[in-house]
């Protein structure tokens, strides 16, 4: 949105005048001198609108183009659409605190302002932490035409020598042989990446994440790479969504030679089972191949939630299939037993 917007100002004006006039009439006990009230209101309003027009025409006296000096900045914090957590599609904050990096960011920021129509938004946030403890904050939003400006700034920042891109999770690990990489692709048969191909996939995915990530890709992603630790005892959650813009990664995933040739059992499923509120809950991962008696009994109670008339997600145990995304619960007669089993499995895993 623009810094200022005068839409609806006439309604504010009318309401203000009515209130102001009512107070004057009440104080004067009638309409005597009412014209003076109208003149005073018009004068005050005219002065305010004139000031408003000046502020708007100068973009708040170019406040958003005012930047601190490099010598007064302790560190710079960057966040927004192009600074992200590659697994969860949520924003991360990246910090640059060397003198050289601060100067480089300020120079790039000046270039950004010279080629950018001022907006405020969430696509890019730059926070200058001053040496006196204060902060100078700038937020920018873009339309399609200006997106390249923000992306260029972000990519330049990420290429600075002192820039720490952050942890990209499992694909940053030097040894991937302790993990299985499985492609979940819109209901298609599940496929596992060959172990010897994992380093190549990790490198392609790493490059695509750093250079071709788009938050909008979450809505129509190509597929999801689900990573499981072999012989795991604890729950593990480290998935990567493959955006349509990850062309190199997608090319790899579309090559049948990169997958194991063993038969994939699609009758096997894995569930996220939870109970409780969003803030306080018990949650475990259970597979249909689990040999734990509690897990086998709990899965035997599964029932489509549509078949339970009084299903209440805040009260009942919830099952969500990782592979099909279908949700389930348990029949009323098994509710209490399901909670006991879920707690037993949770305590066993932790």
DSSP secondary structure string, 26-78?
HHHTSSTTHHHHHHHHHHHHHHHHHHHHHHHHTHHHHGGG----GGGEEEEEE
3 state DSSP class of 104: helix
Q: Tell me the pLDDT of the chain (350 aa) as tens digits.
A: 334 444 455 566 666 767 767 777 777 666 666 667 677 777 877 777 777 777 666 555 556 677 899 999 998 888 777 666 555 444 566 778 888 888 988 988 888 777 665 554 456 888 999 999 898 888 877 655 556 777 778 777 777 766 655 567 788 888 998 888 988 876 667 788 999 999 999 999 988 887 776 655 555 788 888 888 776 644 455 678 888 889 999 999 999 999 986 555 556 677 888 887 655 678 888 888 888 899 899 999 988 888 888 888 888 888 888 766 678 899 899 999 999 998 888 888 76
Contact 198, 176 (CB under 8 A): yes
222/183 Cα distance (integer angstroms): 10
75/127 Cα distance (integer angstroms): 8
Q: State the angle between helix axes of 99-114 and 147-158 in degrees (0 to 180), rounded to the nearest 10.
A: 170
DSSP state of 84: E
List of residues 6+ apart from 148 with CB closer than 8 A: none
Q: Which two tokens stand for residue 130?
A: 């001053």
238/121 Cα distance (integer angstroms): 30
pTM over 0.85: no
DSSP secondary structure string, 315-327?
TS-EEEETTT--E
């Amino acid at each position: 949105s623009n810094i200022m917007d005068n839409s609806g100002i006439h309604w504010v004006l009318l309401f203000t005048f009515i209130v102001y006039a009512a107070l004057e009439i009440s104080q004067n006990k009638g309409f005597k001198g009412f014209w003076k009230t109208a003149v005073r209101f018009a004068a005050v309003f005219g002065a305010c609108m004139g000031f408003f027009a000046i502020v708007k025409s100068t973009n708040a006296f170019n406040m958003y183009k005012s930047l601190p000096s490099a010598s007064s900045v302790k560190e710079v914090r960057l966040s927004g659409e192009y600074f992200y957590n590659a697994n969860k599609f949520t924003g991360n904050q990246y910090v640059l605190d060397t003198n050289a990096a601060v100067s480089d960011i300020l120079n790039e920021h000046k270039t950004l302002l010279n080629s950018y129509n001022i907006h405020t938004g969430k696509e890019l946030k730059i926070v200058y932490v001053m040496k006196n403890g204060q902060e100078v904050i700038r937020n920018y939003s873009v339309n399609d035409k200006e997106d390249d400006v923000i992306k260029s700034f972000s990519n330049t920042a990420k290429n600075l020598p002192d820039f720490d891109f952050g942890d990209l999770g499992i694909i940053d690990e030097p040894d991937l042989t302790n993990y299985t990489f499985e492609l979940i692709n819109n209901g298609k048969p599940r496929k596992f990446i060959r172990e010897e191909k994992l380093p190549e996939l990790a490198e392609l995915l790493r490059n695509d994440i750093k250079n071709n990530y788009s938050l909008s890709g979450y809505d129509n992603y190509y597929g999801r790479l689900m990573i499981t630790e072999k012989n795991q005892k604890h729950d593990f959650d480290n998935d990567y969504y493959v955006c349509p813009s990850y062309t190199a990664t997608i090319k790899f995933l579309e090559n049948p030679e990169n997958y194991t040739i063993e038969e994939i059992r699609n009758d096997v499923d894995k569930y996220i089972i939870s109970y409780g509120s969003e803030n306080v809950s018990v949650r475990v991962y259970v597979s249909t191949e689990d040999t734990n008696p509690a897990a086998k009994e709990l899965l035997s109670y599964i029932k489509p939630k549509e078949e339970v008339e009084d299903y209440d997600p805040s009260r009942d145990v919830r099952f969500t299939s990782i592979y099909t995304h279908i949700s389930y619960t348990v029949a009323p007669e098994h509710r209490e037993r399901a909670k006991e089993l879920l707690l037993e499995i949770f305590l066993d895993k932790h």
